[in-house]
Amino acid sequence: MWIYEKKLQYPVRVSTCNPRLAKYLIEQYGGADGELAAALRYLNQRYTLPPKVIGLLNDIGTEELAHLEMIATMVYKLTKDATPEQLKEAGLEPHYIDHERALFYHNAAGVPFTATYIQAKGDPITDLYEDIAAEEKARATYQWIINMSDDPDLNDGLRFLREREIIHAQRFREAVEILKEERNHKKVF
């Protein structure tokens, strides 16, 4: 189903060690509106969608896994040279105590990832509206992280991710229109 290329979807660079920015980015790693939740949501929902839009959810769900890899790389690069004292100052002390520098699926506040983040109603249009909302929330979160960041190299990758969220929301909107049009057609037997 997948072919893995050993390169990131978009280059990830950071200017300097910055554990505080890493803490913010962890929201997009294991938070409710983050990349893991999005990937799992879309790859799960595809099973109850009409054939006309299944491929879209498969494609976007797969891309979200690539985004998860980018976020993991950003967090790693922002923390790899940090001292325990710097991690403590950034509010990552509980994470360090439990996981050292290993990534763990939780949000910026340290709340572990949960399956309750993944929505699937079984109604295609309802699920697609949920997906549009998820993409818009992720877009907003990326913008807020950019607003908090003073790292131009990191911001380049964050802008790429923010723009991809916009594209995904647009594609989901198109899928809703396809399904609405299909629903409104008279079926003659």
Numbered residues of the known binding site for Ca(2+): 59
Which amino acid would we find at residue 109? Answer: A
| Residue written as token pair 């050993």 | 6
Tokens for 111?
A: 């709340």
Residue 93, both tokens: 């002390």
Per the listing, tokens 């294991």 go with: 30
d(CA 114, CA 81): 30
Question: Which candidate, 102, 100, 107, 96, places its Cα nearest to that of 35?
Answer: 107
- Give binding residues for Mn(2+) as ranges: 35, 64, 67, 135, 168
Binding-site residue numbers are 35, 59, 64, 67, 135, 168
